[in-house]
Amino acid sequence: MNHQASKLEALVKSNRSTGVKKTRFIAITSGKGGVGKSTIGANLAYLLARSGLKVAIFDADIGLANLDVMFNVKMKKNILHVLKGEAQVSEILIPIEPNLVLIPGESGEEIFKYASPGLFEHFMQEAHVLDAIEVMIIDTGAGIGEHTQLFLKIADDVVVVTVPDPAAITDAYATIKVTSRMRGEIDVIMNQVNSAKEAIAVFEKIKAVARANIGEGLQLRLLGKISLDPKVALSVKKRMLFCKEFPTALPSKEMLEIAANIAKKLEHNVLVDATESGLSGLFRRLMEHF
């Protein structure tokens, strides 16, 4: 294990002693598709799980080849089957690694179509199998659809992924603007950058536009950057995680920094109420907006 990886592990261990945690829900979104949400989500989930956290990743962008491709698994049944009473939560979960489970999810839209209060009650009793989850990453669809917004509203953290091309930046800004109506803090990951300088320059540009149009109320934070590297695309193609396949490559080190930034946030995540946890906690939040 390299130095950064062991630092992340030590950070997670030191946080452990502060008591039971509620699940931290982290939504990963973007304005434009194809900017690296699923790649980043999958690798982030892997790194956090390897550092000792109990992690779930929820695929809410299920129409396209997504997390199943990233993890090289087949999703048969998903959360809709559970909501319709056709499967149990434990049947749909796909174990990926120790501490890491994939939840074949659905878009907010589909969930709401089927989530009647009766089914929901039944679902919540079963969803408790995931209460021990410390971090749940939600891979949302791109864009600012009404139901994607729902995930952004209920998440503890929203991470907007963008690449430095002008169209993606414009779309990222649109997502930031909509999200800013629901929350005062948004994280940004600059993906596929050629240098740290470029990442910071583009981020500062987005921030300046946000400050001028949204105002001082919004705190935009650069959570990290990931370099453009053919090894990342190669890993995706081979259905492998680049952080696992090329642990010493630059993008893997950058992902570790991002994972450490997220692990730091968990410090204050002390459990207030057991109903806040896991998949049941996620659905409780969603249903409050039903």
Shortest distance in whole angstroms from residue 151 CB to Mg ion: 14
d(CA 163, CA 227): 10
Shortest distance in whole angstroms from residue 143 CB to ligand ADP: 11
Shortest distance in whole angstroms from residue 39 CB to Mg ion: 8
Are β-strands 100-104 and 55-59 bridged in parallel, bridged antiparallel, or unpaired? parallel
Nearer to Mg ion, 38 or 280 (CB): 38
**Residue 191 binds what, of ligand ADP, Mg ion, none (CB under 5 to 8 Å, by partner type)?**
ligand ADP
Shortest distance in whole angstroms from residue 61 CB to Mg ion: 5
**Number of continuous H segments (helices) and E segments (strands) in the chain:** 14, 8
Kindly list the residues in this chain that would bind Mg ion in the complex (CB under 5 A): 37-38, 66
Instruction: Determine whether 238 is exposed, middle or buried from the number of CB atoms within 10 Å of its CB (0-12, 13-18, 19+).
Output: exposed
Shortest distance in whole angstroms from residue 56 CB to Mg ion: 17
Q: How far is CA 224 from the centre of its chain?
A: 14
**Residue 232 binds what, of Mg ion, ligand ADP, none (CB under 5 to 8 Å, by partner type)?**
ligand ADP
Nearer to Mg ion, 59 or 254 (CB): 59
Kindly list the residues in this chain that would bind ligand ADP in the complex (CB under 6 A): 30, 33-39, 191-192, 226, 228-229, 232-233, 236, 251
d(CA 23, CA 274): 10
Nearer to ligand ADP, 132 or 234 (CB): 234
Write out the DSSP string of 203-226: HHHHHHHHHHHT-TT-EEEEEEEE
Report the length, in residues, of the chain.
Answer: 290
Nearer to ligand ADP, 19 or 230 (CB): 230
**Residue 228 binds what, of ligand ADP, Mg ion, none (CB under 5 to 8 Å, by partner type)?**
ligand ADP
Nearer to ligand ADP, 115 or 163 (CB): 163
d(CA 120, CA 81): 12
Please say whether the beta carbons of 82 and 126 come within 8 A: yes
Q: Burial letters for 29-59: b for 16+ Cβ neighbours within 10 Å, e otherwise? A: bbbbeebbbbbbbbbbbbbbbbbbbbbbbbb
Nearer to ligand ADP, 11 or 161 (CB): 161
